Chains A and B, each alone.
Chain A
Amino acid sequence: MTTNTGIGRTLFDKLWDMHCIDDLGDGTGLILIDRVMLHERTGGVALESLAAAGRTVNAPAQVFATMDHVVDTLPGRTDATIMPTGRDFILATRTAAQAAGITLFDLGDDRQGIVHVVSPEQGIILPGLTLVCPDSHTCSQGALGGLAWGIGSTEAEHALATSTLRVRKPKSMRITIEGSLAAGVTAKDLALHLLGRFGAAGAKGHVVEYAGSAVRALEIEERLTLCNMATELAAFTAIVAPDEKAFAYLEGRPYAPTGDEWARAVESWHDLRSDDGARFDTDLRIDAADVAPGITWGTSPQHYAPIDAVVPAYEGVAARDSREAYDRALDYMGVAAGQSLRDLRIDAAFIGSCTNARLSDLRRAAAVLKGRHVAPGVRAICVPGSSRVKAAAEAEGLDAIFRNSGFEWRESGCSMCFFAGGESFGAGERVVSSTNRNFESRQGPGTRTHLASPETVAASAIAGMIADPRLLQTGN
């Protein structure tokens, strides 16, 4: 099951080979899992189910849990939640985590936050590691050069009990992005551009390696945003070869190695790249110059258009689903073909989520907001991705910029990225959101979600309608 050793291995092949304990036949490997991360929404049930079956966690020191999905994000929060049964999830996860002896970043802990923000921030994900979490956006963490992927709760039980997973080796895809992103074009725009071009099943089942000069030029937090939305492409996961930026980002993080061990680790990580001549099952290239700030107009993340465009006619959609799905999406969103996206009035603006709520995201949004005010009637909310991000933002005064512009400034969590029965936006309300999914009723029953970058959300909040952030003078 080892791939052709020696020449021509992809980064993914190398990670697979390092972790493959046994060949189980038919392309399936028994894969060593270095880290398991859990959250209260899907992790508590996995821990409880494991215990109910009389099983224990094999390596509890390698397992981390956080509270992010159903916790409230209003100031002064407690275990009580707006979601009617949210407290049950919090208490169950806390009790089960304690019983299992795993590390929990609980409410009130300054390490608490969205799992895919916390893991890189704490140095839990490292280059060359395997990490799994019962959460589809685990692919984000591939930005640091580890193989990180989302699984179900039953698979999480398997990983917890055995430190392994039985995995059918996915196919490999390389998406090479050469050139430079234009000024004002972000990693989120790039992610949406790829979805619009290749579709919501465009990378189905593949491990996507993002490569090329435009990817190397991205900062780590931008790579996290790019890799985050690989699950929207139906990828198994995404990965970026770790480089000096990744090493610099991780050095000194709480769970990263130190001293001689750090030096030894970095030395070994230099080999974590696809060999020259490595063959991918699919090899795609795009030109970074083709990417413009964009926004979604429909109910699938592939329903994307440049922000200065109109809602496309059915025939003009690059990644097309059925005519029925297209009509249904327009009807749900209350938009018509040919309508300018920038003419759409909005009811709300949301900056948050594992996609776009890291410190650099908040800085860029704040640069747009500084000295300006949210349009009358627009509800604007900012939810930092972690408690550390929140504290860092406050230390440099970003919270004041958000508040002064009319944004609510929240405690960290997944918040209104999705509606779990607690807080939501209203039926028919149009929301510009820095999140990752625009499915029907994702942010509230009947709520209309347009996905965009944090700066586009900020610019739209100010304008009261979908707005191009490049048209606002950013900075002072």
Chain B
Amino acid sequence: MQPFTTLTATAAPLLRDNVDTDAIIPSREMKSVSKTGLADGLFAGWRYTQIGGRNPDPAFILNQPDYAAAQFLLSGENFGCGSSREHAAWALAEYGFRAIVAPSFNPIFRGNCIRNGIVPIELESGPVANAAQALPLTIDLAAQTVVAASGQSWHFAIEAEAKAMLLGGLDMIDLTLQRRDRIEAFRAADRHQRPWAYFAA
């Protein structure tokens, strides 16, 4: 996973509430048993003029020249609601998005972002969009700040573990496996308490 430290880039405003994962990556665009090959399907229902087609709809924000190189996305309440499909985070990451600013995120989607190098930033996105326009924003994860070209800045909250994962590009499985003895001891003791929770291997 690509570490995230600090990045200056354009932020595309998609200021709708309840943007769902079906909209981020329609199920019909999830064609293979794979985490890749999804960028073209990102926002396919909005981005192209026809379902299944690839002719860009010029009205959609990501098709506008000012936002062609956007690496941040600004959106509304409850971003990433709906299906748990991690393909939504994979598609956003593959397209090039590194951070999303929204007042709130769906919990599963938020976890998927953190595991794929996308920083979920919980902030009212309207003021950020007003300040940014088509000018770059700087996001500093260590400092937990979003800074507009105008100098206006916002502080955001993120839990320590998510921050460490994103800063280091860490794989949490390796980290957890370091506690394997502790986990197995807990399971062995628990098995006496709750034998019905365990099936014979």
Chain B, residues 1-34, CB within 8 Å of chain A (1/0): the string is 0000000000000011110101100111011111
A138 CA / B34 CA spacing, docked (Å): 22
Q: Does A277 contact B (CB under 8 A)?
A: no
CA distance A325 to B35 in the complex (A): 31
Instruction: List, in ascending order, chain A residues with CB within 8 A of B187's CB.
Output: 32, 59, 163
B71 close to chain A: CB less than 8 A: no
In the complex, whether A106 has a CB less than 8 A from a CB of chain B is no
Cβ of A9 within 8 Å of any chain B Cβ, yes or no, is no
Stretch at the interface among A127-135, A282-290, A362-370, A454-462: A127-135
Complex alpha-carbon distance, A265 and B194, angstroms: 7
The yes or no answer to A44 lying at the interface (CB within 8 A) is yes
Q: A166-B172, A265-B196, A325-B17 are in contact. Are A420 and B30 (CB under 8 A)?
A: yes
- A419 interface residue per 8 A CB criterion: yes
A321-B161 contact, Cβ under 8 Å, with A136-B84, A201-B104: no
A276 close to chain B: CB less than 8 A: no
Report yes or no: B159 in contact with A62, Cβ–Cβ below 8 A.
no
- Measured between beta carbons, the chain A residues less than 8 angstroms from B35 are 45, 49, 153
The answer on a CB contact under 8 Å between B33 and A420 is no
Q: Considering the complex, give the chain B residue whose CB is closest to the CB of A46.
A: B86
In angstroms, Cα B108 to Cα A300, docked, is: 18
How far in angstroms is the closest Cβ of chain A from B176?
A: 5
Contacts of B17 in A (CB 8 A): 200-201, 321-322, 325
Given A151-B108, A168-B159, does the pair A45, B34 have CB atoms closer than 8 Å?
A: yes
Q: Which residues of chain B have C-beta atoms less than 8 A from A24's C-beta?
A: 161
Cβ B33 vs Cβ A28 within 8 A: no
B159 touches A158 (CB 8 A): no
CA distance A60 to B104 in the complex (A): 36
Complex A-B: 16 CB contacts under 8 Å: A27-B159, A34-B197, A42-B86, A55-B173, A62-B198, A62-B199, A155-B115, A162-B180, A200-B78, A201-B17, A234-B78, A234-B107, A321-B77, A325-B16, A421-B31, A445-B52
Q: For the complex, is A121 an interface residue (Cβ under 8 Å from B)?
A: no
Q: Once the chains bind, are A201 and B18 in contact (CB under 8 Å)?
A: yes
Chain B residues closer than 8 Å to A334, beta-carbon distance: none
Contact across chains for A201 and B183 when beta carbons are under 8 A apart: no
Inter-subunit contact B84/A88 (CB<8 Å): no
Chain A residues whose CB sits within 8 angstroms of the CB of B81 once the complex forms? 200-201, 232, 234
Residues of B within 8 A of A42 (CB): 84-86
Whether B27 pairs with A92 at a CB distance below 8 angstroms is no
Size category of the binding interface on chain A: 35 or more
Q: Most chain-A Cβ atoms within 10 A of its Cβ — which of B30, B32, B33?
A: B33
Interface-lining segment among A181-189, A383-391, A435-443, A468-476: A435-443
* A89 CB contacts on chain B under 8 angstroms: 33
Q: Which residues of A contact B112 (CB under 8 A)?
A: 152, 154-155
Is A61 in contact with chain B by the CB < 8 A criterion? yes
Contact B183 A163, beta carbon cutoff 8 Å: yes
The number of inter-chain residue pairs (CB within 8 angstroms) is 198
- Residues A134 and B182 in contact, CB atoms below 8 Å apart: no
A312 on interface, CB distance cutoff 8 Å? no
CB distance from A123 to the nearest CB of B (A): 10
CA A163 – CA B82 in complex, angstroms?
26
Closest chain A residue to B180 by CB distance? A162
Q: A153 to B86, Cβ gap below 8 A?
A: yes
- When chains A and B are docked, how far (Å) is the Cα of A26 from the Cα of B158? 10
Residues of B within 8 A of A21 (CB): 179, 182-183, 186
> Are B195 and A261 closer than 8 Å at their CB atoms?
yes
Asked if A105 is an interface residue, CB under 8 A from chain B, the answer is: no
Give Cα A34 to B190, complex, Å.
11
A30 close to B (CB within 8 Å) = yes
Asked if B76 is at the interface of the complex by the 8 Å CB criterion, the answer is yes
- A325/B32 in contact, CB under 8 A: no
Q: Tell me if A358 is interfacial: C-beta within 8 Å of chain B.
A: no
Instruction: Provide the residues of chain B in CB contact with A264, threshold 8 Å.
Output: 195-196
- Once A42-B86, A201-B104, A419-B28 are accepted as A-B contacts, the answer to whether A161 and B177 lie under 8 Å apart by CB is yes
Q: Smallest CB-CB separation from A89: which chain B residue?
A: B33
Q: A170-B107, A234-B107 are in contact. Are A200 and B84 (CB under 8 A)?
A: no
Is there a chain B Cβ closer than 8 Å to A251's Cβ? no
In B65-87, which residues have CB < 8 Å from any A CB? Answer: 76-78, 81-86
* Chain B hits for A10, CB < 8 A: none
> Judging by beta carbons under 8 Å apart, are A126 and B197 in contact?
yes
Q: Would you call A158 and B197 a contact (CB within 8 A)?
A: no
Task: Tell whether B160 is near chain A: CB-to-CB under 8 Å.
Answer: yes
The residues of A that contact B173 with a CB separation of less than 8 Å are 53, 55, 157-158, 161-162
Query: B59 in the interface, Cβ–Cβ < 8 Å?
Result: no
Nearest opposing residue in chain B for A93, CB measure: B33
| Nearest chain B CB to A124 CB, angstrom units | 10
B200 partner residues in chain A, CB cutoff 8 A: 61
How many whole Å from A143's CB to the nearest CB in chain B?
18
Given contacts A321-B76, A325-B17, contact A418 B22 (CB under 8 A): yes
Interface contact B161-A25, CB-CB below 8 Å? yes
B33, A59: Cβ atoms closer than 8 Å: no
Distance from B43 Cβ to chain A, minimum over Cβ atoms (Å): 11
In contact, B85 and A168 (Cβ under 8 angstroms): no
Is the CB of B51 closer than 8 A to any CB of chain A? yes
Q: Does A453 contact B (CB under 8 A)?
A: no
Instruction: Give the distance in Å from the alpha carbon of A129 to the alpha carbon of B196 in the complex.
Output: 10
User: A257 near B: Cβ within 8 Å?
Assistant: yes
Return chain A residues, CB-CB under 8 Å to B196.
Answer: 126, 256-257, 261-262, 264-265
Check if B177 sits within 8 Å of A154, measured CB to CB.
Answer: no
**What is the 8 Å Cβ interface bit string for chain B, positions 89-104, against chain A (1 contact, 0 not)?**
1000000000000001
